[in-house]
Structure 1
Amino acid sequence: MTTHPFPPDLSPTPSALPSGLALRTNTLLASKIREVSEEGAQMEGVLPLWFGEGAWPTDPIAVDAAAEALRAGDHFYHSNRGAPSLRAAIARYLGALHGKPVPVERITVSASGMQGLALVAQALITPGDRVVTLRPAWPNIAETFRIAGAEIHFEGLEPKDGHWSLDMARLLSAVTPDTRAVVLNSPHNPTGWVMPEADMKTLLDHCRKQGTWIVSDDVYARLYRHGQVAPSFRALAEEGDRVISINSFSKAWSMTGWRLGWIDAPEELGAPLSMLTEFNMSCTPGFVQAAGAAMLDRGESAVATFRARLTEAYTLTSKRLRVLPGVDFIEPDGAFYCFFKVEGMTNSLATAKALLHVAQVGLAPGIAFGEEGEGSLRLCYAQPVEVLERALDRLAEGLTLAVR
């Protein structure tokens, strides 16, 4: 695959830069998912399956905890690294989930998983550092490291035997002694690929020898179709390993709008992450942190309910997509997306926009996830089955008309 200091064909020339703007600003790519959603938001009756969030509101456990904190006067600054109560709750949760104690000193609270990625990129990357990651992929992962100055090397996921697959030999050869970090998302957005535990062990051993950091975006860890939690570097890592796990309350806890997450990193990064939090946004709101702590301590039933809803939704969606003419269904193992190829589609952005008009269904275009995603569409199935039934009925009628 190719190393890109800038997106393909978008390397700027000095004459193309507006006066006064930084180079990084001029090379950012606008979200093509947002481009589709903003067009669809102006229309009546569109069924929105474009974003990575569930249709159900946050459990009252979180809402009540936040309201109680506000009524109790939690209106002020908190520690840069997060409220002690939330950091302790995260450490307890991770320890129970993975069967090994997690020191609270490893935990830094962030304002979303996205901000966690940005803080880690700022902590690790010196301009020119090499970072290896995957495509197709949620573009924010590579972009936030590129903003920090990294040169990004992409390795591609590919369909194999009806599932998404990663060529481990190729990945290992890409992680050279000058590779600063490998950034992975498993379960994966948009494909639902999950890295097997054996491959994680192999990569961890390789990175130990190279001195390379592993940054693991674990926001879908609980949305694993074959167990309570997906295979995890956090469960394999030993003291001293250069492994960082980033997580968020957005997905499994249905808290996308709350903007709350955490970083689990070696203790040596505690002080740098604290300072970076100060210089980015000081701290996460206390009442939001109270909601997160309550969900970790008392909200496991909400996670179980969400997982059960996803199982029902996936059963329906996969059954319907498998028989949809022109669709090449590739089975996901985690997250809550179906990323399917469409016969004859060469412009997924145009097709996604056309689907708004001919089928009133909002999907994410594959090109939004990199050039390897072209020819595919992403459907988020975290919806009630009655909504999915209507959406899939419309797709069955309109997909042929919309393909570009």
Structure 2
Amino acid sequence: MAAMTRPPLNRRLAEFGTTIFAEMSALAVSTGSVNLGQGFPDTDGPEEIREAAVRALRDGRGNQYPPGPGVPELRDAVADHQRERYGLEFDPGTEVLVTAGATEAIAASLLALVEPGDEVIALEPYYDSYAACIAMAGGTRVPVTLRPHDGRFVLDLDELRAAVTDRTRLLLLNTPHNPTGTVLTREELAAIAELAVERDLLVVTDEVYEHLVFDDAGHLPLATFPGMRDRTVTISSSGKTFSYTGWKVGWVTGAPELVTAVRSAKQYLTFVSAGPFQYAIAEALRLPETYFDGLRADLTAKRDLLADGLERAGFTVFRPRGTYFITTDIRPLGEQDGIAFCRALPERCGVVAIPHAVFYDHREQGAPFVRFAFCKRTEVLQDAVKRLGTL
């Protein structure tokens, strides 16, 4: 066969190969290692929510195409959740859109709101799908780097302001922040809101870890700040909160014109998804506060178990205020290259982690940082801590 004159893959995606999560998870299987790399729980969520999904399946609710914007029960539950927790009023008919997880919500938002040549500012390190979605939309990625300071990763507001140009269309934010575990402060969010209003920017906020905020910090949606409700697309999902990551039920809230734009793109991606699971998540969002308190308490204990073990093993640990990831600095171990360190770690002590560098445009900034997930059973974390102690 004659050689192709052009590679098959769209040039916008040429820089994106197999994700680091697939590589490290395969390495975990081949070496029998404890997988603290990919961020998914190793136990299911509440039994009553699983039974709600079974009940929906048996009752024939959602087995055929659900409504394009999502089933009314879930859109009502999302609107109630936003109002009761944050004082944000959204019309479930025009201002709530159900998606195939937050990943589709991010993709649909960027495809809808970004045109070729538009600049999108993202906080690095950033979740890997952000870069791919910006590329698919034809946007130009502009990273603003979070840097370690006093035990947390901090946003330099002057650097953020300097990154905005006449071509900037959108800010893509993530708080609580994966992979660093940082929760943006009220002061940081207020400054971002002022900048967005001043420069007439749209903002897409990924808030999937909104219920995984520790140490009584509390979650502050950017849409609650002055001038932000009508220029913010807020994204969340059920996977991290209810530990059913395979169901892929997410949602978007925002002003009608923004949600309509996102829906215009979303309808040509999956059209609809997860019909019966939507009914179950509608019930999950109405669980009593004791569930959410218990989730945070359980994960706080697991965070501290793993963080203490990592510190004893010799890492510098950035104890997270949110998410279920711990960022560490490997330089006290005499290491500099996080990618090489993570590839060798399974053979060295039987644990898998994720290198930060793959989440950076400025790879040298992320080189010494490595992420561990603590959303696992206590006995699994105890085993990992024991193994890490051999370093």
Range into which the TM-score falls when normalised by the shorter chain: over 0.9
In the alignment, is the contact (CA less than 8 A) between 1:28 and 1:143 conserved in 2?
yes
Residue identity matched to 1:48: N
Counterpart CA distance in 2 for 1:340 and 1:240 is 35
Whether 1:71 and 2:58 are equivalent positions in the alignment is yes
Whether 1:379 and 2:368 are equivalent positions in the alignment is no
Pairing partner for 1:279 from 268, 286, 297: 268
Assess, with a 3 A threshold, how the Cα gap between structure 1 residues 305 and 329 changes in structure 2: closer, same or farther: same
In the alignment, is the contact (CA less than 8 A) between 1:177 and 1:212 conserved in 2?
no
In the alignment, is the contact (CA less than 8 A) between 1:164 and 1:332 conserved in 2?
no
Counterpart CA distance in 2 for 1:210 and 1:19 is 39
What corresponds to 2:41 in structure 1? 54
What corresponds to 1:337 in structure 2? 325
Assess, with a 3 A threshold, how the Cα gap between structure 1 residues 18 and 301 changes in structure 2: closer, same or farther: farther
Residue identity matched to 2:203: I
What corresponds to 2:73 in structure 1? 85
In the alignment, is the contact (CA less than 8 A) between 2:56 and 2:276 conserved in 1?
yes
Counterpart CA distance in 2 for 1:240 and 1:234 is 5
Whether 1:358 and 2:348 are equivalent positions in the alignment is yes
Residue identity matched to 1:37: S
Q: Which moved more, 1:25-34 or 1:110-119?
A: 25-34
Counterpart CA distance in 2 for 1:383 and 1:288 is 23
- TM-score with structure 1 length normalisation? 0.89
Counterpart CA distance in 2 for 1:23 and 1:17 is 13
Deviation (angstroms), 1:191: 0.6
Deviation (angstroms), 1:314: 1.5
Assess, with a 3 A threshold, how the Cα gap between structure 1 residues 43 and 242 changes in structure 2: closer, same or farther: same
SS at the partner of 1:332? coil
Residue identity matched to 1:88: D
Deviation (angstroms), 1:358: 2.1
Counterpart CA distance in 1 for 2:322 and 2:156 is 19
- CA offset digits 1:179-224 (Å, max 9, x no partner): 1001111111111111111221111111112111111110111111
Whether 1:207 and 2:200 are equivalent positions in the alignment is no
Counterpart CA distance in 2 for 1:16 and 1:167 is 46
Q: Which moved more, 1:216-225 or 1:35-44?
A: 35-44
What corresponds to 1:9 in structure 2? none
SS at the partner of 2:21? helix
Whether 1:367 and 2:354 are equivalent positions in the alignment is no
Assess, with a 3 A threshold, how the Cα gap between structure 1 residues 100 and 277 changes in structure 2: closer, same or farther: closer
- CA offset digits 1:228-254 (Å, max 9, x no partner): 732220322557631111111111211
Whether 1:312 and 2:305 are equivalent positions in the alignment is no
- TM-score with structure 2 length normalisation? 0.92
Residue identity matched to 1:369: F
Deviation (angstroms), 1:29: 3.6
Q: Which moved more, 1:18-27 or 1:192-201?
A: 18-27
Assess, with a 3 A threshold, how the Cα gap between structure 1 residues 23 and 156 changes in structure 2: closer, same or farther: same
Counterpart CA distance in 1 for 2:210 and 2:26 is 29
- CA offset digits 1:55-108 (Å, max 9, x no partner): 221212221111111111121111211111110100001111103423222110
Which structure 2 residues correspond to residues 135-284 of structure 1 after superposition, within 5 A? Answer: 135-227=124-216, 229-238=218-227, 241-284=230-273
Pairing partner for 1:27 from 6, 15, 34: 15
Give the length in aligned residue pairs: 382
What corresponds to 1:119 in structure 2? 108
Counterpart CA distance in 2 for 1:167 and 1:274 is 33
Assess, with a 3 A threshold, how the Cα gap between structure 1 residues 36 and 285 changes in structure 2: closer, same or farther: closer
Assess, with a 3 A threshold, how the Cα gap between structure 1 residues 169 and 70 changes in structure 2: closer, same or farther: same
In the alignment, is the contact (CA less than 8 A) between 1:80 and 1:275 conserved in 2?
no
Residue identity matched to 1:265: G
Residue identity matched to 1:166: L
Counterpart CA distance in 2 for 1:82 and 1:228 is 31
Deviation (angstroms), 1:20: 4.4
Counterpart CA distance in 2 for 1:16 and 1:244 is 41
Deviation (angstroms), 1:299: 5.8
Whether 1:42 and 2:35 are equivalent positions in the alignment is no
In the alignment, is the contact (CA less than 8 A) between 2:234 and 2:253 conserved in 1?
yes
Counterpart CA distance in 2 for 1:20 and 1:315 is 47
- CA offset digits 1:354-403 (Å, max 9, x no partner): 111221111112222221321111111122332212211211213xxxxx
SS at the partner of 2:239? coil
Counterpart CA distance in 2 for 1:217 and 1:57 is 23
In the alignment, is the contact (CA less than 8 A) between 1:359 and 1:397 conserved in 2?
yes
Counterpart CA distance in 2 for 1:95 and 1:17 is 55
RMSD, matched Cα: 2.0
Counterpart CA distance in 1 for 2:43 and 2:5 is 43
Pairing partner for 2:383 from 365, 390, 404: 390
SS at the partner of 1:252? helix
Deviation (angstroms), 1:17: 7.3
Residue identity matched to 1:96: E
In the alignment, is the contact (CA less than 8 A) between 1:366 and 1:376 conserved in 2?
yes
Assess, with a 3 A threshold, how the Cα gap between structure 1 residues 62 and 18 changes in structure 2: closer, same or farther: farther
Residue identity matched to 2:345: L
SS at the partner of 2:98? strand
Counterpart CA distance in 1 for 2:140 and 2:319 is 31
Counterpart CA distance in 2 for 1:193 and 1:332 is 6
What corresponds to 1:295 in structure 2? 284
Assess, with a 3 A threshold, how the Cα gap between structure 1 residues 387 and 265 changes in structure 2: closer, same or farther: same
